[in-house]
Chain A
């Protein structure tokens, strides 16, 4: 059953889109991530213009994060204050990101920047996740105790001004690092159409040293605010949000996410991380592939000739 997307102006198979939404939703529920980094490339490969894919995907990420944040909220696993500070940075970042993206689109470099960002971020983070989780898995196989996390927080975290108390995270730190972190993630959400959980979660654990139980819930909370704002801005400034596309994706996505979250308890954390690292790494490589291979068609039509 084909359906014509009013903004993307292409005809796609609706069943396939709902199925993809469900599959990515399942993965995102399984790993506790937004899934935007998987969905955007898939949409681009399906022939949807990257600008539309990125903007509509931000909308879809907002929906799937909303569907999972509520259960974290009930378990009191969301640090609303920290989430708010991150989101303040995220809001600024998404303003900047949407304007940068608009400028890149006019220059005709938007597709290239999407590919490069995917290649760099996913390639590096995937490789790190993969090595780290395989090492942890091997240690467990050999029966060694898990490596202890260093408790010493980086000193620069305490030297900065504008300190604030975060009772839920048991932290008293400057607001500058979380704002900068949120800003970076906000820019990424506009340029890559991702929530940014794959950067936020490790950064919150290793940089801000937040307690693990509140990390995922707080990151989801900030992602909802940032991606909602990004998607309003993309619609307002670039007119690239396709509501039919995002609705089809989230119809499958919210169901898949709930199912994935239920299954996730059956797997070990390390095994899940190896798998996730592998997926992230491969997606990064695939997106970067076109950058290094001599193209068969050296010319490209640019979308949006305005």
Chain B
């Protein structure tokens, strides 16, 4: 991941190392979510005060959100709005509140924290000239735009897919730290990136990226692939199974 790091302050550059206890999560029929521990260490000969932020991003998944609006006393879904660039899983953990670690602009640039996720609804936006200013991005959602964006984060958090823990990174001994990644059962499959960023004096000075693969395995994988690659054979097989089971039950009960 490219990042324009400011030149590290002399005398000696600080560095960070990290590793995951598991790099492959297999989603099998007994999958109920997973807890993965990320541990690492800060190396700094000068022992300057350091902050660590861990950002875990799952594969991007466009999100469709609708708002319920009352129409003649009945609550009806509005036209859904599609948000692009939303990760399917997002977790930001740090050793103290993000706002204490770095400035708003830095966090925004790094996408650190759910408030700084680069998600938007491009279909609802257009570029136009307004108040004499060219290329202004105007949202058709109007002033409600923030409500929609907040709703995406809130709904995803409720499903355990977005999380922010400002005490999630714990220094255990000297420069050693650990953080926990809690994947819910509904976590999307794909490649996850865990990025560990070392901050000193409000600036990111070093980072480390670790990848994590979440994949369906075993019977689950076979069924999922068949349902999507050969949907018609899958459908016929499921109906054959259903009719066969129904017939078998009636025969079995007739005998008894």
Contact = CB atoms under 8 A, between A and B. Distances in A.
B171 interface: no
A247 B31 contact: no
Interface in B214-243: 216, 219-221, 223-224, 227-228, 231-232, 234-239, 241-243
A108 B29 contact: no
Contact of B246 (A66, A243, A302): A66
Sort A-B residue pairs by CB-CB distance and give the 8 closest, nearest first. A66-B246, A235-B235, A254-B249, A299-B151, A108-B80, A11-B185, A302-B64, A63-B242
A156 interface: no
B223 A244 contact: yes
A60 B242 contact: yes
Contacts of B73: 292
B66 interface: yes
A63 B232 contact: no
Given A59-B242, A258-B250, A298 B68 contact: yes
A304 B216 CA distance: 18
B235 A231 contact: yes
Contact of B82 (A11, A243, A254, A305): A305
Interface in B60-95: 61-70, 73-77, 79-80, 82
Question: Which of B67, B79, B224, B239 has most A Cβ within 10 Å?
Answer: B239
- On chain B, which size bracket covers the interface? 35 or more
B75 A294 contact: yes
Contact of A305 (B63, B223, B241): B63
A3 interface: yes
A280 B47 CA distance: 71
Given A2-B32, A4-B220, A63 B250 contact: no
B32 A11 contact: yes
A239 B65 contact: no
A304 B251 CA distance: 40
Given A241-B234, A290-B75, A300 B68 contact: yes
Contact of B241 (A236, A243, A294, A297): A243
B76 to A, nearest CB: 6
Interface stretch (A67-75, A171-179, A206-214): A67-75
B131 interface: no
Interface in A184-222: none
Contacts of B250: 66-68, 70-71, 254, 258
B71 to A, nearest CB: 10
Contacts of A290: 75
Interface string B26-54: 01111111000000000000000000000
Nearest to B187: A9
A263 interface: no
B130 interface: no
A258 B249 CA distance: 8
Contacts of B61: 305
14 contacts: A6-B216, A11-B186, A66-B246, A71-B254, A250-B246, A254-B246, A257-B249, A258-B249, A297-B154, A299-B155, A300-B65, A300-B67, A300-B155, A305-B63
A299 to B, nearest CB: 4
A233 interface: yes
Given A62-B243, A224-B243, 16 more contacts: A2-B32, A59-B239, A63-B243, A67-B245, A228-B243, A231-B239, A241-B234, A250-B242, A254-B245, A257-B249, A292-B75, A294-B75, A295-B75, A299-B67, A299-B148, A299-B151
B235 A241 contact: yes
B66 A300 contact: yes
Given A232-B235, A295-B75, A4 B155 contact: no
A305 B62 contact: yes
A37 to B, nearest CB: 18
A108 B231 contact: no
B244 to A, nearest CB: 8
Given A11-B185, A258-B253, A302 B242 contact: no
Interface string B85-113: 00000000000000000000000000000
A109 B254 CA distance: 44
Contacts of A295: 68, 75
A96 interface: no
A239 B228 contact: yes
Contact of B63 (A6, A64, A301): A301
Contacts of A237: 231
A169 interface: no
Nearest to A61: B242
A291 interface: yes
B253 A243 contact: no
Contacts of A67: 245-247, 249-250
Interface string A272-306: 00000000000000000011111101111110110
Contacts of B155: 297, 299-301
A198 B70 CA distance: 31
A99 interface: no
